[in-house]
Structures are given as structure tokens and as C-alpha cells.
């Protein structure tokens, strides 16, 4: 009886912890803003998410056909493993949409330097593949090289834009539904099928999108 009573008390707690953990594992969270002395500061009110503002102000690199009529924006941190997972799962959809990957710096110092290095690369897609392979192998990712001060400034502006919209996790996906034209956003990594469903694209590799909720 005592064992059953203990299980009855522990199980809900364990369940809640596992649920919270599973949600956390889908995305990297931004650290709270800090002011002088490390004191936490409140964020200003969020601005409405605007694809026009992202297109005009963000700096990123393109995966997929530059002439595609559909554009999907992905804010990512080079140090975020969940961003690397989305990099992998988004690839099968690049024939249906143009993905613009926008580096931000929110996790650590390497986030900004690696993001800037990707922006400065002649072939950022190939370098991103190399970088994510290193991250997966726990190698820390690519090393920065050359003068990338201008690109670091661009990463800082991208980060400000992400914060302006009130997003708190990365990767963050912003786009429009291919069929309805509605604005869609999502914070966290997704499977190929779930990403296709979010964007109104066709599932690939035999995957079936989950039913709409």
C-alpha cells in the first residue's frame, strides 16, 4: 500500500517533468535579458510579426531556388542543435520553397562569430553542412576567419529583429501558408511532414503530414 501511495504521488510529478523536457528538447531558449550588474530586465512589448520587415531588414542566406514564389524565413543560432535538426528536415522541401536562413546570436559568443562566418562564406550552404556535421559530432562547429565585423553587425541586427517580434526560442520559422496565404510561425524544430503541413507544402519521402488541428 505504501509503495502504491508513493507511486501515486511521484507519477504526476515525473509526468510533468518529462512533458516539460520534451517541449524543451524541440528548441533552444533565449536567456533572459540582463541589465547592469546582471539584473534581469523586462522586454518591451512585442511588435506584430511582419514578413515585409523581415525581408527588408534581415540578412541571411538562401537554400532552394532564388526564383521560388514561396519564401520561408528561419531564424537560427549556429550553436543550437535543434536548428541543425531543422536544417536537415527542411532540405526535402527546398524544391517547393525558398528558405532564407537568418543567423542570430543568443546562446553564446560563438553564435555570433559562426553566424557571421556563414554570412561571409562564398558557399554558405556547403559551409552550413560542414558546420552542422561538426556540431553533431560535438566538434563545436566551424571556426571564424578573416574580417567579419560587418557580418557580426548583421547578426546583431537579426537578433534585434527576432527580439522585436517577441520570439523566445530558436529555430523560429516565419512564412505564409501556400494554399491560404495566412501568416504562419513556429518556434522549435519540426519533422519534414510537420513542416510541410505548417507551410501548406506537399509531404516528401513518403511522409504524410499530420492532420490539421
Q: pLDDT band at residue 204, thresholds of 50, 70 and 90?
A: confident
Judge whether residue 169 has pLDDT over 80: yes
- Superfamily classification of domain 28-199: Glutaredoxin (3.40.30.10)
Tens digit of each residue's pLDDT (9 = 90 or more) over 5-27: 433 433 443 333 333 334 345 77
- Domain borders along the chain are 28-199
pLDDT score of 37: 34
The total of other beta-carbon atoms located within 10 Å of residue 195's CB is 25
Residues 6+ apart with CB under 8 A from 61: 100, 101, 118, 119, 121, 124, 125, 128
Please provide the average confidence, as pLDDT, over all residues in the chain.
82
* Nearest CA among 66, 95, 92, 89 for reference residue 76: 89
Judge contact between 94 and 62, C-beta under 8 A. Answer: no
Longest dimension (CA), the chain: 69
What is the pLDDT averaged over residues 173-201? 97
Tens digit of each residue's pLDDT (9 = 90 or more) over 137-165: 999 999 987 899 999 999 999 999 999 99
Amino acid at each position: 500500500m505504501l509503495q502504491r501511495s508513493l507511486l501515486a504521488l511521484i507519477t504526476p510529478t515525473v509526468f510533468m517533468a518529462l512533458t516539460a523536457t520534451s517541449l524543451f528538447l524541440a528548441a533552444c531558449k533565449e536567456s533572459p535579458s540582463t541589465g547592469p550588474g546582471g539584473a534581469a530586465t523586462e522586454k518591451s512589448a512585442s511588435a506584430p510579426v511582419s514578413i515585409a520587415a523581415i525581408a527588408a531588414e534581415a540578412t541571411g542566406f538562401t537554400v532552394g531556388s532564388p526564383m521560388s514564389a514561396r519564401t520561408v524565413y528561419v531564424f537560427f543560432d549556429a550553436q543550437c542543435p535543434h536548428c541543425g535538426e531543422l536544417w536537415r528536415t527542411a532540405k526535402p522541401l527546398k524544391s517547393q520553397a525558398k528558405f532564407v536562413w537568418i543567423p542570430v546570436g543568443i546562446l553564446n559568443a560563438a553564435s555570433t562569430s559562426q553566424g557571421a562566418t556563414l554570412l561571409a562564406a562564398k558557399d554558405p550552404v556547403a559551409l552550413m553542412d560542414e558546420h552542422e556535421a561538426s556540431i553533431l559530432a560535438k566538434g563545436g562547429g566551424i571556426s571564424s576567419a578573416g574580417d567579419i565585423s560587418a557580418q557580426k553587425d548583421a547578426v546583431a541586427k537579426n537578433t534585434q529583429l527576432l527580439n522585436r517580434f517577441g520570439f523566445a526560442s530558436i529555430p523560429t520559422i516565419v512564412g505564409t501558408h501556400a494554399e491560404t496565404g495566412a501568416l504562419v510561425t513556429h518556434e522549435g524544430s519540426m519533422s519534414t511532414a510537420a513542416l510541410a503541413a505548417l507551410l501548406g507544402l506537399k509531404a516528401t519521402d513518403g511522409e504524410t503530414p499530420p492532420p490539421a488541428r
